[in-house]
Each structure stands twice: as C-alpha cells, then as structure tokens.
Structure 1
Amino acid sequence: MTASAAELAEAYFTAWQERDFTRLRSLLADEVSFAGPLATIEGADECVAGLEGMAQVLDKIEVKERLADGPSVITWFDLHTTIAEPAPTANWMRVEDGLISEIRVAFDPRGILAARG
C-alpha cells in the first residue's frame, strides 16, 4: 500500500528530526529537487546531505499545520535551531509514484546566516 502525500510528509519530518537519514532517503525519489533560501539541490543523495548539514543545528520541528491536496502537501512549522530564534517556515512537497519528488521551502534565513558567520 502506498502512503498518502500527507503520510510521506509526516514521515519526512519525523525522520529528519530523529536524524534517521536512511529512512529519510527512502522517502525521496532519486531525482528529487529541493529549493530553499539556503540551497538549491538536485538528487536524493545531495538532498539528504543538505538535511544532514542542517540537522547539525536543528533543535526541533514544531509543526503548526499540514494541508494536503492530492499529491501536494504544505507543512507550516517553526524551525527551532540551536543557533537562532525559531523561524516560521513553509514547506511544500509534491509526491509522485509514492515518493517525494519536489520540495520547496520558504523562511527568513537571516538569523541562521548571521550565526554561521
């Protein structure tokens, strides 16, 4: 049975927060594309590497709302890091053939960028 887009989004955020990068990789299509204020990435392995890097400063993900419409999911959450104030964040995902194929993220990165110097 194939997971719904909302279930895949929940599994993605759980795996990222738990730093289970093997599980996280299994949710991504090989050709996944990621675009956000800190990076634009093509490919699942590169995407996982980027999320591993961000996990070094990740404290927690506080999901406020998740809305799904067919293959698309938007998750609104507060991104808590160890280096900056929480950043309200919107994450849009598209699911194709039971895997996450596109990820777009929007948040104000100034606190994180300032802390990283």
Structure 2
Amino acid sequence: MEHSTPIDVVNEYLASFYSGDFTRAAAILAVDFSFQGPFLSVEGRDGFLSGAQGLRPVVRGHRLLRQWQDGHEVCSIYEVDLSTLAGSGSVVMSEWHTVRAGQLASGRVVFDTAPFHALMPARRG
C-alpha cells in the first residue's frame, strides 16, 4: 500500500478486520500501533490483535456510512454487523485513525456499548 492515500489504507484495514482476515489487517498496522476503545486500550500491534480475537467469530462485516480525511488522519462512521447466540444486529461505530508511512499508527473507536452488549451471550459463572 506504498502509494495509497490515508483513506485507502483505512478502508483496506476496515475491510480486512471486519471480514475476519486478521493476517491481512496485521500487515496494515504499524508494529507500535496504539488503540483506545471502550473494551480495550493497548500499545502494540500484537497486543491489539490478541485483544480483538473475541470479535472474529461474531463479526459479519461492516458498512461505511461517512468518512473524511484531514492530512494523515481519517475519521470513519460505520455499522458493524454482529451475529451471536444471543442474536444478530448492527452497531454504529466511529473510528479515528492516524496513518504513518502507509500503515495505521493509531486508532480510537467510540460507540454506544449497550447495543453491543445486547448481542453478546450472557456470561455464566
């Protein structure tokens, strides 16, 4: 993705991540990628991918609703489709990425956690 725009880099990542292709997504993340979200805040690509593993079996894709770029920063608003034993539905999310040298240097996601929790099976114990 050497000659890609920041929006191209972000969209390649979103498509990879939300299709469950973490190998492809990992190649787009800088080694020192930092992430902040409601359920995970972590420094480092490997820590992020490890922390996000629980999403792989339940994520069914995403639909981009709006996106804009300011220099090397991209903000995206999208719906994520989830399917679990508790049900199926979508959650609107907003994510702000910083792109450096053709890779994602950081990401910050915000969303209402209530619809997300409603789709997660109840924990036992």
| Match 2:102 to one of 98, 101, 104 | 98
Length-normalised TM-score, structure 2:
0.84
Length-normalised TM-score, structure 1:
0.89
Distance in 2 separating the partners of 1:86 and 1:4: 28
Distance in 1 separating the partners of 2:42 and 2:121: 20
The Cα shift of 1:21 comes to 1.4
8 Å CA contact 2:59–2:82 kept in 1: the answer is yes
Distance in 2 separating the partners of 1:42 and 1:18: 23
Paired residues in the alignment total: 117
Matched, 1:49 2:53: no
Question: Rg: which structure is higher?
Answer: 2
Which 10-residue stretch deviates more, 90-99 or 48-57? 48-57
* Identical pairs, percent: 24
Structure 1: state its 5+ residue gaps.
none
Structure 2: state its 5+ residue gaps.
none
1:12: which partner in 2? 13
2:83: which partner in 1? 82
Query: Which letter does structure 1 place at the counterpart of 2:16?
Result: A
Cα RMSD after superposing both structures: 1.6
Distance in 2 separating the partners of 1:21 and 1:52: 9
